[in-house]
Structure 1
């Protein structure tokens, strides 16, 4: 009886904790407060959005979080250049004295910066450098998609080829990340946020 009671309590705790989150990525919650802060920040402070808009943005935000997770798994968050950059940013943020370190917004700003740098660093390794430096793969990609480039030569279309190849690498990487790390989306919470 005691085990059953404990299991019920744990289940209720997990359910109520999930209810305050729009998603959980590899066991780490994305709170509705964090998500709406980022959403409003990137939509001119406007938090009034349709369910579909919030869902689309959440998919992008989850992809962002997956990349950050991968960067941490590779130890990029331990890199001395990264740590120094974060420390310098925090020092500059405090020097502005526009936001107190004790305010929740300060934590959101710092976490967003840390994650953005990690996402940039991992994207550089996994996508951008690979597309720029692997001439053989670029030519293979060009040959496979020649009809898209309107009879332009490889040299004439190289800039567009690099961009398109980067997008293909990005799409494949996101598919791998979504297979590797479990993602759970709380549709009910997104609907609530859309109604506010």
Structure 2
């Protein structure tokens, strides 16, 4: 009886916690309030929340969080240069005295910066340096997609080809991350956010 009661309490508590999250990746929650803060920050001037817009933005945000999860899995958050950069940013943020350290906004700003740097570092490793450094792969991509470049010479469109190749690498990588990590979207919470 005692075990059944405890199981029920943990299930109810878990459901309440999940209800406050718009999604999770491998069980790690994406907090609704933080998601909404990021959304509003990137959609300044828009007063009404639209479910379709929120859902589309959540897809992008999940992609971002997947990259961050992968960066952590690779141990990039343990890198000393990364830690020093974060500490320097936090010191600068505190010295400005614009956002109280105890406020949720301060925590959101710091988390956004931490994760943004991780995302940049992992993208540098997985996408950008690959696309810049592998001339043979870039030329192969150009040859495979020659119709797209309307008969132009590689030297004329090299920059565009690199950009397109980077996009292809990113799309493939995101697909593999979406297969690797379990993503759960809380549709009822997303609908609730759209009504705010």
TM-score by length of 2: 0.96
1:154-165 aligned within 5 A: 154-165=154-165
Equivalent residue, structure 2, for 1:130: 130
* Deviation at residue 45 of structure 1 after TM alignment: 5.5
Distance across 1 between alignment mates of 2:106 and 2:145: 46
1:65-80 aligned within 5 A: 65-80=65-80
SS in 2 for 1:48: coil
Distance across 1 between alignment mates of 2:46 and 2:184: 26
SS in 2 for 1:49: coil
Equivalent residue, structure 2, for 1:143: 143
TM-score by length of 1: 0.96
CA 1:126–1:110 in 2, change beyond 3 Å: closer, same or farther?
same
SS in 1 for 2:122: helix
* Deviation at residue 65 of structure 1 after TM alignment: 0.7
* Residues 87-146 of structure 1: per-residue CA shift (max 9 Å, x gap): 111111111111111111111000100000000000000000000111111111111110
Equivalent residue, structure 2, for 1:97: 97
* Residues 6-41 of structure 1: per-residue CA shift (max 9 Å, x gap): 332222222111111100111111111000000011
Distance across 2 between alignment mates of 1:4 and 1:88: 49
* Residues 39-96 of structure 1: per-residue CA shift (max 9 Å, x gap): 0111116452211100010011111111011111111111111111111111111111
SS in 1 for 2:55: helix
1:19 aligns with 2:19: yes
Residue-pair matches, total: 196
Distance across 1 between alignment mates of 2:45 and 2:30: 19
Equivalent residue, structure 2, for 1:119: 119
Distance across 2 between alignment mates of 1:29 and 1:41: 20
SS in 2 for 1:105: helix
CA 1:149–1:76 in 2, change beyond 3 Å: closer, same or farther?
same
Distance across 2 between alignment mates of 1:167 and 1:68: 18
Gaps of 5+ in 1: none
CA RMSD of aligned residues (A): 1.1
Equivalent residue, structure 2, for 1:185: 185
